[in-house]
A and B are shown apart, each in its own frame.
Chain A
């Protein structure tokens, strides 16, 4: 492999930054599409009672979209909260504990939301 930056090692980086940047945007677009899908259906004429509201989430395509949105949310919030902990919490042990709690909390919340979605 041709390199122009030395012979001892390949300086390529781990691309964590790019991956986080890109996943933050892709997951945001997924959630924006979900938001539009909900708004359009809510704005349809007629009273918004339980039947219309639950019927919205009864369609298989809406279930899939909601599922993808929940997973996107999980990922998006993880990147965001990790940034916040990295910026404001300096002690490594405390930061690690907060990271672990955040992951556990988010996975738990996502599980709850997915359970709600698929028992309809």
Chain B
């Protein structure tokens, strides 16, 4: 259960090696966390991540093999996770920034990014939503992005995929009203991770720990949308109103 101060006892991290996801688990590990399930493609990194989380004192850390693109396998992968006990928090952290330039040359790569960032996550989210609804409680945290809010030249394949996921999360939040399950959409700006390493930093860049801290307080307050840093809400409200020509000339 998630207690009155927002501390959960179990977390399912979809995208089990995601730096933001793992940072979130670490923040919660010092509190009431007893069970962590890392879902991701079978890889040594997934097992290493599990091992490192065991050292934080969480009693039960396990992994489950889930490939976002293989949506027909999602039910079989996720069902045992919920059968073994309640999941208080689901963190959806699957996504791929990809290579925009390459995708423009070879649209098959664009499809791949959309599969990994939008279609696969939507499938997994719907499976989890049904399970949490049966539990009568829980929070689904969906990692979206500022890139989802207004398409940009530099990364619109990723941005449009995140926009799909963001819209899915909004709709899911509405669908789950009155079921005891909340959906929190998290829209970080530029986060310094493996995924963004080597890229030009945008304004308002943050660390994975900043996103994790924002998620932790969201587990208590359950806002529908969280921007990280919080100032981005105002910035993007203005950005959305700018004429297209002006918006395109903005740096970042």
Co-assembled chains A and B: no
